[in-house]
Amino acid sequence: MSLDNQTRDSILAAIPNLRAFAISLSGNVDRADDLVQETVLRALANIDSFQPGTNMPAWLFTILRNLFRSEYRKRRREVEDTDVLIITTPMHNFTVPAALKLWIDHVLRINRTFESTPAGKVGLMKDRPTFVLVGSGGFHSGERARQPDFLTPYVRYALESIGIRSINFILMQGLVGGDTSISEALLAARNALSRHAPFNRVAPVLA
């Protein structure tokens, strides 16, 4: 790989615009930063195929767009292809955080994962064991619950509408309570998971 100063400077100069482009494509700042990093790495690895004097930003934008497209194509099959679905999420303001809502909006697509019939929505995905691990600062279930829970009924309804019915919610509650509460919640979650295939092949965790 040969990288002269001018080429290096033109790559560096393009990064702010690349980042803005990546944010507009992915809608997520962290993902956008990863995309920019992957783009620069890909560009450096293939710098010999860049023709000096041509438009460096345009070349980088093309690399970034292609990376995003191929990842998007792979992701679109994420739900179709998996035998077990695992979702880990915090509770934010009594419901799903914005990132999980975004995922749901990508996944629940008419004529792709469900179809609309006179009798209502019919899921097109095969059912499969599904685990939704929910972390929350406080309690929303059981005797210590002091807040409503719009997360579990919503996620259940969303998944059922695409055909996924074998849903296990594993709750890790009281996580603001310090190290002991966190350890207890994690232990309970691990043990709850270990009662289900495919995790029951893993030895249960003892206190």
Bridge partners (DSSP) of residue 168 are 131
Q: Which stretch binds ligand FMN (CB under 6 A): 36-44, 47-55, 85-93, 191-199?
A: 85-93
The answer to whether the beta carbons of residues 143 and 136 sit under 8 Å apart is no
DSSP label at residue 126:
P
d(CA 15, CA 19): 6
Q: 64 exposed, middle or buried (CB, 10 Å; 0-12, 13-18, 19+)?
A: buried
**Nearer Cβ to ligand FMN (129/137):** 137
Q: Which of 42, 76, 92, 121 binds ligand FMN (CB under 6 A)?
A: 92
**Nearer Cβ to ligand FMN (73/146):** 146
Q: Which stretch binds ligand FMN (CB under 6 A): 51-59, 70-78, 90-98, 185-193?
A: 90-98
Residue 138 in the binding site for ligand FMN (CB under 6 A): yes
The answer to whether the beta carbons of residues 182 and 175 sit under 8 Å apart is yes
Q: Which of 123, 137, 163, 177 binds ligand FMN (CB under 6 A)?
A: 137
End-to-end CA distance of the chain: 54
The answer to whether the beta carbons of residues 150 and 93 sit under 8 Å apart is no
Residue 91 in the binding site for ligand FMN (CB under 6 A): yes
Q: Hey, which residues between 141 and 160 contact ligand FMN (CB under 6 A)? A: 147
**What contacts 54, CB < 8 A, 6 or more positions away?**
none
Q: Which of 2, 5, 24, 93 binds ligand FMN (CB under 6 A)?
A: 93
Over its C-alpha atoms, the chain yields an Rg (Å, rounded) of 22
**Nearer Cβ to ligand FMN (90/123):** 90
Residue 188 in the binding site for ligand FMN (CB under 6 A): no
Q: Could you list the residues that contact ligand FMN (CB under 6 A)?
A: 90-94, 135-138, 147, 175
